Structure 1
Amino acid sequence: MTDTKTCKESRVIKTAHVFPSDTNNHDTLFGGKLMSFIDDVASLSAIRHARMPVVTASTDSVDFLTPIVPSDSVCLESFVTWTGKSSMEVFVKVVAEHLLDGERRIAATAFLSFVALDENKKKVPVPKVVPETDEEKKLHETAPVRLEARKKRREESKELASYLTTKRLWEQG
C-alpha cells in the first residue's frame, strides 16, 4: 500500500438519464434515487482509494440545490477528500445537464464517510490523500471542520438512541 494517493486516483463519474419512472409527483428526480446513486459512486471512490472493502460510516449531508427533471441527465462525480487512520471522507458533486440545450448546473452536493475493513471486518489503515486542484484543496482544508461536526453528531445520535425504544408502537403502554 502506498502512503499517499491523489484525489483523482479515487475519482468516479456516473452519468444517467432521468426517466419519468425516476420522478416523483413534482416531476423531479426522487431524492431517494439520487441518494442511492450518491452512495454507489461514493463507495466506489472509497474502495478505489483504500483498495479494500469499505462500509458506509455516515452520510453527513446531502444538499438538494436545484430540481432535476426528465429533460436532464444527471452526472455524479465523487472522490476522496480527506482521510483519517482507517476512515475516508468522500465528496459527491451532482451536475444536472439539460440534454437539449447543454445547460449544466450543480444540482446537489454530498459528503459521506467510509471505513476500510480487512477480511475479518477489522478497520485497516488507508493512504493519506493529496489534493491537487483548487476544488480538491478547498475540500481538503475544510475537512477538519466537517470531521468535528461528524463526531459531535455521532455522539448526539448515540445519546438519543439511549432514550429510544425498540418496542413497536402498538406494544407501548
Structure 2
Amino acid sequence: MKKFKTAKESNVSITELMLPSHSNFGGKVHGGHILNLMDQIAFACASKHSQAYCVTASVNRVDFLNPIEVGELVTLKASINYTGRTSMVVGVRVESENITTGNTKHCNSSYFTMVAKDNAGKNIIIPGLILENEHGIRRFARSLERKASASSRDSKYESTNFKVNEYLEFLDGQNVKLDLD
C-alpha cells in the first residue's frame, strides 16, 4: 500500500435517475434517500483511498439547498479532503439535472468522517493525502478547522463544563420561555 495518495486517485462519482419510489409525500425526492446515496459514495471513496472496509464515524451538517424532482438525474461526487491516522474526511457534492432542459442545480454538500477498519473491526492506519494545489490545501485546512471547532463545541457544552448563567443572554429574543426550578 502507498504511504500517500492524491485525492484524484480516490475520487468517485455516480449518477442515478430519481424514480417515483424515491419520492416523499410532497412529490420530491426523499432526503433520506439522498443521505443514503451520500453515505454509499463516501464509503466507496474512503474504501478506495484506504484499501479497507470503512465505517461512517460522523456526518457534518447536511443542508438541503434545492429540492430534487422525480425524473431528474442526480450526480454525487466524492473526494478525500483530509486524512488523519485512521480516519478521513470525504467531501460529497450532490447535483441534480433536469434531463429535458439540461439545467443543473447544486442540491447539497456534506462532509463524512470515515474510519478504516481491519477484519477484526480495529482501526487501521491509512495512506496520507498528497496536496497538489491551493484547492487541496484549502479543503484540508477547512477540515482541520471543522474538527477543532467540533471538539471545542462538544467539550464546551458537556454538563460538567456548562455554566447556565453564561448563556442566559443568548436566549433573549428567542422563541423560548424559561420555567426554571
The reply to whether TM is greater than 0.5 is yes
Q: TM-score normalised to the size of structure 1?
A: 0.83
Letter in 1 for 2:141: E
Question: What's 2:28 paired with?
Answer: 28
Aligned 8 A contact 1:15 1:73 in 2: yes
Matches of 2:63 and 2:99, distance apart in 1: 23
Matches of 1:156 and 1:24, distance apart in 2: 37
Question: What's 1:138 paired with?
Answer: 138
Question: What's 1:66 paired with?
Answer: 66
Residue 50 (1) aligns with residue 44 (2) = no
Question: What's 1:100 paired with?
Answer: 100
Question: What's 2:148 paired with?
Answer: 148
Structure 1 segments of 4 or more deviating over 6 A? none
Asked which structure has the greater CA Rg, the reply is 2
Closer, same or farther: CA 134–17 of 1 in aligned 2, 3 Å? farther
Letter in 2 for 1:25: F
Matches of 2:32 and 2:48, distance apart in 1: 24
Question: What's 2:83 paired with?
Answer: 83
Question: What's 1:111 paired with?
Answer: 111
Structure 2's unaligned 5+ residue stretches are 160-181
Matches of 1:26 and 1:118, distance apart in 2: 42
- Tell me by how many angstroms 1:76 deviates: 0.3
Aligned 8 A contact 1:65 1:106 in 2: yes
- Tell me by how many angstroms 1:153 deviates: 5.5
Secondary structure of the structure 1 residue equivalent to 2:78: strand
Q: TM-score normalised to the size of structure 2?
A: 0.80
Letter in 1 for 2:6: T
Aligned 8 A contact 1:131 1:137 in 2: yes
Give the RMSD, CA atoms, in angstroms: 1.9
